[in-house]
Amino acid sequence: MDSKSEVNMAKINPTLFNSIYEMKCPRCREGELFDTTIFSFDKSFEMRERCSECSMNFSPEPGFYYGAMYVSYAIWGGISLVLCSILILVFDWNLNQSFALLFFVSIIFFVWLFRISRTLWIHANIKYRPNYIKELTQKNNQKLEN
């Protein structure tokens, strides 16, 4: 298998990791969850309403993303603990120095954390359906024929 067809295979059937890393729709893994990149200051906290590929509603119910707060808390709690432990135990920093660095790291990754938490939450709740778009077009074609 040459590298070009491997790239095509990855595009046809993206892994869960790739889908979360690239913040894609959980159902088809093709449409984007967010309009802008994490370092653009435009629409940082706005999600798309629907998937551009399979038209999945990204807000299935009111308050759906409250659970993402727990994901965010767990991720950032873990990162903070590891970062401060390394700084204090390995590099011999004091608590104030390590908290100051943690504060700046938090500012830099704030948008990323918000988005990755929502992405993980929606991926945990919505099942991947690799043939969904194909099924949808077949259904629509059948409707047109009848």
Q: Nearer Cβ to Zn ion, position 33 or 71?
A: 33
Q: Measured between alpha carbons, how far is 18 from 20 in angstroms, rounded to an integer?
A: 5
| Residues 107-146 close enough to bind Zn ion by CB under 5 A | none
Residue 79 beta carbon to Zn ion: minimum distance, rounded to whole angstroms:
29
Residue 125 beta carbon to Zn ion: minimum distance, rounded to whole angstroms:
14
For helices 95-108 and 66-85, the axis angle rounded to 10 degrees is 140
Number of residues that bind Zn ion (CB under 5 A): 8
Residue 54 buriedness (CB in 10 A; 0-12 / 13-18 / 19+): middle
Phi, psi of 2 (to 5 degrees): -80, 170
Check if the beta carbon of residue 25 is closer than 8 Å to that of residue 50: no
| Residues 9-68 close enough to bind Zn ion by CB under 5 A | 25, 27-28, 31, 51, 53-54, 56
Residue 106 buriedness (CB in 10 A; 0-12 / 13-18 / 19+): middle
Q: Nearer Cβ to Zn ion, position 51 or 87?
A: 51
Residue 27 beta carbon to Zn ion: minimum distance, rounded to whole angstroms:
5
Q: Nearer Cβ to Zn ion, position 58 or 98?
A: 58
Residue 132 beta carbon to Zn ion: minimum distance, rounded to whole angstroms:
7
Q: Which of left, alpha, beta for 47 (phi over 0: left; psi -120 to 50: alpha)? A: beta
Q: Nearer Cβ to Zn ion, position 113 or 120?
A: 120
Residues that bind Zn ion (CB under 5 A): 25, 27-28, 31, 51, 53-54, 56
